[in-house]
Structure 1
Amino acid sequence: MEQGSNVKQLCDICQKKDTLWIAWIHTFKLKNRSIWSISMPHDNSRFWRKLLKLRRTIRPHIEAMVGNGEGIYMWYDNWHSQSPLIDSYGEDVIRNFNSHPQAKLKTIMLDNEWI
């Protein structure tokens, strides 16, 4: 049952659910970075490390809804049909596009249309 609860917590983080705890996680743990891009910290709580270990398990099941692209990490979120772009093309794609690793999808959109 514990793993199911942890999966739910991780899904809530991905969805940026409107709770104080999720806001705290995004402010103090993620610091404007994708949950998929942060490294496994060795000096953090056991609970946080458990959540991060679950990423591999749930990532294929989390699809991002593009909308205006404001909440989508262009390289790390699963919004494209080929899976997260970082998985399909590797980290070189970020340098080749002269992009920031934490770029949001909205940076290549204008009025909800692709640029």
Structure 2
Amino acid sequence: MKILGTAKFKEGTLPVKYLGVPLITTKLKATDCVPLIDRITKRVKNWTNRSLSYAGRSQLIQSILFSMQVHWSSLFILPKKVIKEIESILRAFLWSGSDPKTHSAKIAWDSVCAPKNEGGLGFKSLDIWNKAAIAKHIWYLFSGGEVSMWCQWVKSYLLKGNSFWKVRIPTDPSWVWRKLLSLRNWMSPLLTHKVGCGESIFLWYDNWHPLGPLWNKFGDRIMYDSCLNSETKVNQIIEGHSWKWPIPNSWEI
């Protein structure tokens, strides 16, 4: 209270907004995303009194309306209800323009989001885009991330030297961390490692070998037979340009 009195601040409660998005301590709810939906709806209403062709509305969706959710999608896994509501607004604006209730959709939205060379309009699927935008945080963990305070904090306090692919989900994880861990099976085949010195690549769990992650291929047996633990790095089994297995010929990969 002394600090509040000295600094002339008012004590607030969460959630509050920071850079346009809510600061929350729990799971993101659909009600937290109302400001985002309201912004998109308001922008659409500003255009509905104009005579726009399908091509004009399509361009506005891709260049303006879609970009309005990019910041949110880069920070949160949006609730499915919110994604459906945003796509409903975009769909209604595309097909009906000034009077969204007069016409139904001419083509399924999934078909509209298909690439142009497949007959669609090239719109991005909000669900896939959201996953891809969040997945960049996982990519930062493997691409260095020395300049990211978040990456350094995750490595020091959450991973603690363990592989991201096999670290256990804590009993009381934050909602964001739990969501990132839930994307591991989806992301693992998409991240490949080019071996240099190999000192930062996990031998069993990272996707560096042509067969993919070796643990996924062979299971715990390969670790038992090779006498190498789960924290072994690639540089520990390479000497010059040759393999250096502790037990020669135990495995040929």
TM-score by length of 2: 0.43
Structure 1, unaligned runs of 5 or more? none
Per-residue CA deviations over 1:20-56 (Å, capped at 9, x if unaligned) read: 2111111110000110111222311010000000111
User: Are residues 1:36 and 2:36 paired?
Assistant: no
Counterparts in 2 of 1:111 and 1:24: CA distance versus 1, 3 Å: farther
The equivalent position to 1:78 in structure 2, one of 207, 218, 222, is 207
User: Are residues 1:46 and 2:175 paired?
Assistant: yes
**Identity level (%):** 30
Amino acid at match of 2:145: K
**Aligned runs of 1:102-113 on 2, under 5 Å?**
102-111=231-240, 113=242
Structure 2, unaligned runs of 5 or more? 1-72, 77-130, 245-253
Aligned match of 1:5: 133
Distance 1:90 1:35 in 2: 17
Pair member with larger Rg? 2
Amino acid at match of 2:135: V
Distance 2:205 2:217 in 1: 10
Distance 1:72 1:10 in 2: 15
Distance 2:230 2:169 in 1: 17
Total equivalences in the alignment: 115
User: Are residues 1:15 and 2:133 paired?
Assistant: no
Is the helix fraction higher in 1 or 2? 2
Per-residue CA deviations over 1:36-85 (Å, capped at 9, x if unaligned) read: 11122231101000000011111101001110111100000000000100
Aligned match of 2:222: 93
TM-score by length of 1: 0.91
Distance 1:25 1:36 in 2: 13
SS state of the match for residue 155, structure 2?
Answer: helix
Task: Please report the RMSD computed on the Cα atoms of aligned residues, expressed in angstroms.
Answer: 1.4
